[in-house]
Amino acid sequence: MLANHWCASVDATIQLRTGCNPLEKHGPQAVIVHADAWAPMHAVANPHDIRQVVDYEVIFLAILKLEGNEHCECLESSILELMDAIFAMSVVTSAFISMHKPHVYNGQGTPAISLSMTRDQWASTKA
């Protein structure tokens, strides 16, 4: 948690055609997504307007969009797509995303992955 920062958090469950691993190629599967985006308080002109702070609707819609994206076949590529959407909001300085599949291994194992990045780290991957 960052001090003096707004944090927009979104939790959602979506269906993804995941399966980099042969054990996971069973068609669409439930994936639980958690995303946090932080913006410094001083960067926000009007804290009463959530769109100026961090618009969590942008994050939610980006998560939903993953369901229709044929290129998001693994959690890693899906997380990177979400990072792009989050950092498209200029006020965001850092983000955290985690995804896990609660039912992949017959309830005995829940594969999960997460990524935390600053804007500078994200920008360096785009250069």
Q: What is the pLDDT of residues 4-62, one digit of tens each?
A: 888 889 999 998 876 666 655 666 778 899 999 999 988 877 877 766 777 889 999 99
State the first-to-last Cα distance of the chain, in angstroms, to the nearest integer: 28
- The CA-based angle 73-58-1, given to 5 degrees, is 90
* Confidence band, pLDDT 50/70/90 cuts, at residue 86: very high
Pairing relation of β-strands 29-40 and 112-118? unpaired
All domains of the chain in start order, with CATH: 5-126 (3.30.1130.10)
Burial class (CB in 10 A: 0-12, 13-18, 19+), 70: exposed
Candidates 98, 97, 95, 94; CA nearest to 111 is 98
pTM of the prediction? Answer: 0.85
Burial class (CB in 10 A: 0-12, 13-18, 19+), 7: middle
* Structure token pair of residue 104: 């992949």
Give the residue with greater pLDDT, 88 vs 2.
88
Distance CA(69)–CA(16), nearest Å, equals 9
What is the three-class DSSP state of 19?
Answer: coil
Whether the CB-CB separation of 122 and 87 falls below 8 Å is answered with yes
